[in-house]
Structure 1
């Protein structure tokens, strides 16, 4: 262990960050040939599951800044992957929708990303996978509950 620090060999937080980085790298590798990256894929996937999200909601869901999401949405709109109204129907929110082209590209990307997830879980039994999901969900819940003041 480093003086005054944590032992990276036994730090669960460090191991989770390392796993996250490895997952992102593997996803980027399979998405690149499709003209996508993880952020673009995340945005399209979020819109597929929750049509009409605002750019702020998309930014939170894709773990990027609002400014980065606005730049991405402008590019996706130019490329014909999403549509947004010229004016907000209510308030300032411009609800974003996938186009058929966006949906078709998302389907290809989803197959690629799923192959990475299958590879990531290939060394685990079904029971171990279930346990890992449960443990990760519990960690997320505990950290969010603490930051929400619960």
Structure 2
């Protein structure tokens, strides 16, 4: 490697960053009718997959700390999509659950997925392959950080 490799457009990090920004911008108008931000949408997807999660488990699944997750969940609760309940056995534990409105939102989210698929211009197979490559990359980077 030499100085000619230190060009912004040659950097993997910049390509990922730019693609992430573009994808998030694409989601924004699709999520507005649902009353969700992109991070809220991700939290709802986890809850649609596994309802009744403790905040810690939800945060681990999303890679978010409680300082970021708590206000996000508060806004989802104010919107009527989730409830938060303290565990009677351990008051430090808060369980997040979908309300009927939050569960019903999942059907509307199918349209979001379809629109994103169209926006990418990729086939389902291409999207799956790209997702798998990115997940593998994340795993390698996390392993490198742990060592």
TM-score by length of 1: 0.79
Question: In the comparison of the two structures, how many residue pairs are matched?
Answer: 144
1: CA distance, partners of 2:46 / 2:16: 23
* Counterpart position of 1:83: 83
Choose between structure 1 and 2: higher helix proportion. Answer: 2
Alignment RMSD: 2.5
Establish whether residue 58 from structure 1 lines up as the match of residue 53 from structure 2.
Answer: no
1: CA distance, partners of 2:24 / 2:87: 34
Q: Which runs of 5+ in 2 are unaligned?
A: none
Dislocated runs of 4+, deviation >6 Å:
none
Establish whether residue 137 from structure 1 lines up as the match of residue 127 from structure 2.
Answer: no
Alpha-carbon distance change, 37 to 110 in structure 1, aligned in 2, over 3 angstroms: farther
Choose between structure 1 and 2: higher strand proportion. Answer: 2
1: CA distance, partners of 2:143 / 2:21: 25
**Corresponding residue SS for 1:71:** helix
Alignment of 1:27-42 (within 5 A): 27-42=27-42
1: CA distance, partners of 2:128 / 2:46: 24
Preserved contact between residue 30 and residue 113 of structure 1 (Cα < 8 Å): no
2: CA distance, partners of 1:47 / 1:123: 27
Which deviations, in whole Å up to 9, do the C-alpha atoms of 1:83-113 show, x marking residues without a partner?
A: 222x314431111111110011232134213
TM-score by length of 2: 0.80
